[in-house]
């Protein structure tokens, strides 16, 4: 099992080296792998249940993204096994079955969660940090220049403070700094879908174009988001739900300024606040996808879901507990994790 994620603060800016805060949620993805014996001819395959799609890894760069992602994750998994020569890794073709209970294009890290589930099924003893690194190879196929936050949170669960290097070249080559954030209390989040699927790659490219055309204003927005993330970390550690809500609202204003919000997202945020949420914002790439709202208690959470439902938006409540959610294996923190913030 690999969890889906909600970015609470810092999406988009995180691509350019601003820290971000994200939490793993109790919905996610699963995968099973069956290896043929070494030397068996034939390609490896991946079937994703629910999407009704099967791909094989014998593709070139023109192949379907999912097929290329399978090819690339197999390549890095096999390379890692070859480096760790002591570890025996099957070399024949592998048949992988996977599925997810996350909406694709919803901003909840569906592709990364499937990637993490597949990476774990291929190599069940790899540590979370290694899994997250391998999934970046998978994510690059779908997203071009992923920050890596989705894969890290999906592999680790809990609440995570994530920061990649500010320099573009280093960001691709060096390891990000990933730290666990210790929540003072369980967070109660409402997640609602705007009903519109969006492409992370397209939205990240749109922000990149905006940054090229208006470097100063975009830089100012990123600086403001960075300041928000600092305050948000303190609010999360203090369990101050009201402050977290206010900071979510401010982050939403800044995301609207980057033109990644939509009328549906704005409506959902307004509905959530009016129904008693402490704050709300889009989560993930925007341009559609999901909204996250924070509430003090279940009654208010249900009121938010009801308000969304009346306007035709589906949603669910999720709890993020202070202790890292178990996401399939109770591994030591990955190498890239450098203690709590």
- The footprint of ligand PMV (CB under 6 A) covers 7, 11-12, 14-15, 107, 109, 143, 146-147, 149-150, 200, 204, 284-285, 289
Residues 190, 301 contacting (CB under 8 angstroms): yes
Minimum gap (Å) between residue 226 Cβ and ligand PMV = 14
Minimum gap (Å) between residue 187 Cβ and ligand PMV = 18
| Phi, psi for residue 256 in degrees, rounded to 5 | -60, -40
Minimum gap (Å) between residue 200 Cβ and ligand PMV = 4
Q: In the complex with ligand PMV, which residue's Cβ is closer, 107 or 334?
A: 107
Minimum gap (Å) between residue 123 Cβ and ligand PMV = 23
Minimum gap (Å) between residue 312 Cβ and ligand PMV = 22
CA 179 from centroid of its chain's CA atoms? 15
Contacts of 52 (CB under 8 A, 6+ apart): none
Minimum gap (Å) between residue 284 Cβ and ligand PMV = 3
Minimum gap (Å) between residue 23 Cβ and ligand PMV = 13
Q: In the complex with ligand PMV, which residue's Cβ is closer, 13 or 81?
A: 13
Query: Can you tell me the distance from the alpha carbon of 101 to that of 174, in angstroms, rounded to the nearest whole number?
Result: 32
- Annotate 235-297 with DSSP letters as a single string: HHHHT-HHHHHHHHHHHHHHHHHTT---HHHHHHHHHHHHTT-SEEEEESS-SSSEEEEEESS
Q: In the complex with ligand PMV, which residue's Cβ is closer, 90 or 104?
A: 104
99 beta partners: 30
Q: In the complex with ligand PMV, which residue's Cβ is closer, 146 or 192?
A: 146
Query: Can you tell me the distance from the alpha carbon of 236 to that of 172, in angstroms, rounded to the nearest whole number?
Result: 29
- The strand pair at 177-180 and 337-340 is best described as parallel
Q: In the complex with ligand PMV, which residue's Cβ is closer, 131 or 204?
A: 204
C-alpha distances in angstroms, 42 versus 76, 84, 119? 19, 25, 20
Residue nearest to ligand PMV (CB): 284
Q: In the complex with ligand PMV, which residue's Cβ is closer, 115 or 284?
A: 284
Q: In the complex with ligand PMV, which residue's Cβ is closer, 95 or 197?
A: 197
| Phi, psi for residue 128 in degrees, rounded to 5 | -55, -40
Minimum gap (Å) between residue 172 Cβ and ligand PMV = 12
Q: How far separated are the first and last CA of the chain, in Å rounded?
A: 26
Minimum gap (Å) between residue 85 Cβ and ligand PMV = 33
CB contact burial 148-163 (16+ within 10 A = b; e otherwise): bbbbbbbbbbbbbbbb
Residues 148, 5 contacting (CB under 8 angstroms): no
Q: In the complex with ligand PMV, which residue's Cβ is closer, 79 or 253?
A: 253
Q: In the complex with ligand PMV, which residue's Cβ is closer, 190 or 258?
A: 258
């Amino acid at each position: 099992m690999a969890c889906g994620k909600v970015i609470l603060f810092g999406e988009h800016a995180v691509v350019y080296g601003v820290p971000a805060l994200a939490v793993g949620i109790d919905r996610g993805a699963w995968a099973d792998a069956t290896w043929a014996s070494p030397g068996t001819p034939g390609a490896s395959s991946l079937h994703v249940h629910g999407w009704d799609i099967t791909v094989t890894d014998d593709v070139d760069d023109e192949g379907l993204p999912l097929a290329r992602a399978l090819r690339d994750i197999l390549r890095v998994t096999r390379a890692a096994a070859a480096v760790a020569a002591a570890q025996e890794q099957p070399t024949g073709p592998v048949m992988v079955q996977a599925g997810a209970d996350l909406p694709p294009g919803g901003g909840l890290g569906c592709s990364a969660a499937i990637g993490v589930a597949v990476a774990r099924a291929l190599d069940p003893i790899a540590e979370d940090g290694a899994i997250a690194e391998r999934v970046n190879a998978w994510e690059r196929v779908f997203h071009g220049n992923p920050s890596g936050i989705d894969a890290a949170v999906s592999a680790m669960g809990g609440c995570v403070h994530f920061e990649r290097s500010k320099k573009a070249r280093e960001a691709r080559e060096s390891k990000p700094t990933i730290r666990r954030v210790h929540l003072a209390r369980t967070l109660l989040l409402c997640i609602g879908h705007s009903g519109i699927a969006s492409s992370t790659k397209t939205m990240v490219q749109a922000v990149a174009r905006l940054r090229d055309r208006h470097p100063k204003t975009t830089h100012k927005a990123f600086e403001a988001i960075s300041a928000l993330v600092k305050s948000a970390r303190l609010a999360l550690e203090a369990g101050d739900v009201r402050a977290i809500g206010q900071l979510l609202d401010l982050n939403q204003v800044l995301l609207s300024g980057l033109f990644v919000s939509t009328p549906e997202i704005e409506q959902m945020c307004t509905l959530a606040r009016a129904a008693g949420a402490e704050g709300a914002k889009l989560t993930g790439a925007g341009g559609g996808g999901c909204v996250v709202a924070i509430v003090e208690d279940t009654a208010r959470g249900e009121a938010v879901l009801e308000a969304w439902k009346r306007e035709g938006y589906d949603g669910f409540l999720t709890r993020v507990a202070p202790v890292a959610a178990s996401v399939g294996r109770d591994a030591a923190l990955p190498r890239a994790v450098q203690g709590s913030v």
